[in-house]
Amino acid sequence: MASWTGVGSYPWEDPDEAARTVFGELTQLPHLPELPARGAGADIIGRTAALLVDIPVEVQPTGWRVARGPGRDLARAGSFLSYDLEAVERHGADYTGPFKVQAAGPWTLAASVELRSGERMLGDRGAVADLAASLAEGLRAHIADVAARLPGAELIVQIDEPSLPAVLAGRVPTASGYRRIPAPDPVVARERLGGVFAAIAGAGALPAAHCCAEDVPIGLLRRSGARVLGLDATLLTPGSDEALGEAVEDGAGLFLGVAARARAGVSDPVGTVDPVRELWNRIGFAPESLAGTVVLTPVCGLAGTSPEGARAALDACREAARVLRDDPRG
């Protein structure tokens, strides 16, 4: 496992600049950049919608909505993704090693995309099932495309589920805002995620899950098939220690967020990595195993920061990773 990487998004708008940065700065684990500042279609939902099979979407004032057929909004999303893939191919054609791509997960998509009625897909069980199957099929094709462009890459597919805790807690509002959409059965939640993770693994990539909320359902993600867990280390509490310990014992890797956008910098790499050391001490694993299990990242995506802040956050992760390698015991 590599020692530091990015979560996904950056503040730039130029795909070439972003590709140069990830291959130049994230030498051990570069990834496909996401550049949402370009507008609708470059955001996490629109980007993933471009991968869906037979579920066209369009932009409405309230967000993304299922459409009668493919239109210019979906074409723009597909173009943004193509530009980014072409830039990565130009700058990383000779790269060998792990390489990460990201996509929104089925439950975050279902909580974000509206049916043509204006209600969220999350409220329709059949629509959620169709959405998860469409995403799985689209990801298989996406993995094949990336593998052809970067033949030396060992692909990791990170499924971003920022809305999953709210979905499972029944906190997602209806279109009117007066009610909440009931939480799915945990078995169904696991099945929908499991189908996506199985498709990723079946296509030859490593399935990963990322959620930077406080109440991440670690056990559910692991039982669904995620082999890497991406979490905000600064939000982890002792209540998650048992689930994390079991995941590590089972061979799961951890992408742990340590560098916050507001305080990114390299002035205190020891302090930056303290949450990871504290976690490792609590779950009782040998400090020497840290560098081989944990990849450090910013706490979340960097789209909302400045270009300088984004680079500073990556620098902070690199320096913190060096501290872990050189002195894992602290």
Is-contact 76 61, C-beta < 8 A?
A: no
d(CA 237, CA 231): 12
H or E stretch covering 231: strand 228-232
Phi-psi group of 244: left, alpha or beta (phi > 0 → left; psi -120 to 50 → alpha; rest → beta): alpha
* Residues with pLDDT less than 70, the chain: 1-2, 261-267, 328-330
d(CA 203, CA 141): 9
**What is the pTM (predicted TM-score) of this model?**
0.95
Write down how long the chain is. Answer: 330
pLDDT for 266 equals 46
pLDDT for 262 equals 47
Q: By CB neighbour count within 10 A (0-12 exposed, 13-18 middle, 19+ buried), where does 69 fall?
A: exposed
Helix, coil or strand: residue 27 = coil
Hey, where are the domains in the chain?
1-14+227-330, 39-214
